[in-house]
């Protein structure tokens, strides 16, 4: 019935999450974080995602979005121009795809995270690129982990999702 369809549409709209787009993250070489007066996005920039598209364990809290620049994560189905939905975390488990900030030189990157022999390996998902080895893990801060990828097709987000 029409009233049932209207209710279903209203339910779908009410479950849309507004996730702030915080800027760009490089999937490639370590990249300096822009100075505070440099902004890619205004404070109002948001992306809407149906809560039903998030992984079951994610409730939509502490999420933010970043636009990916670079191709170091292409074998993980994360391409240049895609949007990664991140969950704010400050620790990572081996094998998680995370945003890392290196405080020593104020650089950031998106990579797989591995602790090995007292060091940290930041592993790209591209066979043409080398891992980044961090000898002093105390210089690293995990800023978030990837919970969802939104594929960009002709500049428009589609529902292509990798969890």
Q: Which residue has the tokens 């105390």?
A: 138
User: Is-catalytic flag, 4?
Assistant: no
Burial class (CB in 10 A: 0-12, 13-18, 19+), 14: exposed
For 34, 51, 64, the CA distances from 61, given in Å and listed in that order, are: 26, 11, 9
Listed residue (113, 112, 115) closest to 126, CA to CA: 112
> Do 30 and 131 meet the contact criterion of CB atoms below 8 Å apart?
no
User: Which one of 1, 7, 14, 111 is the catalytic residue?
Assistant: 111
User: Which one of 36, 45, 46, 72 is the catalytic residue?
Assistant: 72
CA angle 25, 68, 126 (to 5 degrees): 100
Q: How far is the C-alpha of 94 from the C-alpha of 114, rounded, in Å?
A: 4
User: Is-catalytic flag, 61?
Assistant: no
Catalytic residues: 72, 111
């Amino acid at each position: 019935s029409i009233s049932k369809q209207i209710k279903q549409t209203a339910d779908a709209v009410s479950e849309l999450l507004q996730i702030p787009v915080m800027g760009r993250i490089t999937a490639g070489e370590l990249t300096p974080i822009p100075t505070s007066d440099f902004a890619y996005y205004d404070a109002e920039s948001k992306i809407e995602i149906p809560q039903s598209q998030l992984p079951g364990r994610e409730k939509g809290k502490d999420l933010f979005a970043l636009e990916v620049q670079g191709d170091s994560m292409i074998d993980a189905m994360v391409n240049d121009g895609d949007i990664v939905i991140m969950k704010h975390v400050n620790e990572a488990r081996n094998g998680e795809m995370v945003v890392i900030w290196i405080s020593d030189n104020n650089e950031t990157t998106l990579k797989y995270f591995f602790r090995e022999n007292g060091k940290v390996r930041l592993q790209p998902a591209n066979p043409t690129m080398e891992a980044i080895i961090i000898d002093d893990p105390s210089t690293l801060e995990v800023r978030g982990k990837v919970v969802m990828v939104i594929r960009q097709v002709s500049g428009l987000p589609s529902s292509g999702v990798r969890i």
